Amino acid sequence: MTDTKKKKRYAYPVRMPEEIRQWLTDRAQAQGRSINGEINQILKKEKAAEMNAS
């Protein structure tokens, strides 16, 4: 794959309350994903819902 076709990925540290982190951890484990993967899935789902609502 050439450099122009690679997707850029950015690290973005997020501060969150302990109860949200635990909820994400539990949800990610139940879905067989990492916490990062779960956050991305939630954001993609919300983005699609937002785009469908407008």
Q: Give the start-to-end residue ranges of the domains of the chain.
A: 16-53
Domain 16-53: give its CATH architecture.
Orthogonal Bundle (1.10)
Q: Which residues neighbour 16 within 8 Å (Cβ) at sequence distance 6 or greater?
A: 24
pTM score of the predicted model: 0.78
Helices (H), the chain: 18-31, 35-53
Q: Specify the 3-state DSSP secondary structure of 6.
A: coil
Residue-wise pLDDT tens for the chain (54 aa)?
555 678 888 999 999 999 999 999 999 999 999 999 999 999 999 999 999 998
Largest CA distance in the chain: 42
pLDDT at site 54: 82
